[in-house]
Amino acid sequence: MDCYIYRPVRQDGRYLYIDNRNNFSKVPDKLLDLLGELVFVIKLNIYTGMTLANADPDKVLNCLLDQGYYLQLPPPNIMNFQQK
């Protein structure tokens, strides 16, 4: 399935996958407001069994088919604390 990936200009590590280029009609307005200005990154053909850097392709596919978009969040920061 073809999908189109956008990133917010002012938020690192977040990516919005949509099923139609430049068609954000399926994305909630509140989410679009939170993300702010979006920049097109790449068109991908997502399929089961492929590898994505920080997302499960099956989950992405299911979200695209069910709701028309998928929001990839940055991985959580893992902090190492030393005990004294």
Contacts of 28 (CB under 8 A, 6+ apart): none
Q: Would you place residue 23 in the very low, low, confident or very high pLDDT band (cuts 50, 70, 90)?
A: very high
CA dist., res. 27 & res. 16, Å (int): 9
24-77 pLDDT per residue, tens: 999 999 999 999 999 999 999 998 888 888 888 999 999 999 999 999 998 776
2-72 folds as NE1680-like fold (3.10.510)
Q: Identify the pLDDT of residue 10.
A: 87
pLDDT computed for residue 77 by the predictor: 65
Question: What per-residue confidence (pLDDT) applies to 84?
Answer: 46
* Residue 1 to residues 28, 39, 51, 61, 67, Cα–Cα distance (Å): 22, 21, 14, 8, 14
For the chain, domain boundaries? 2-72
78 pLDDT more than 50: no
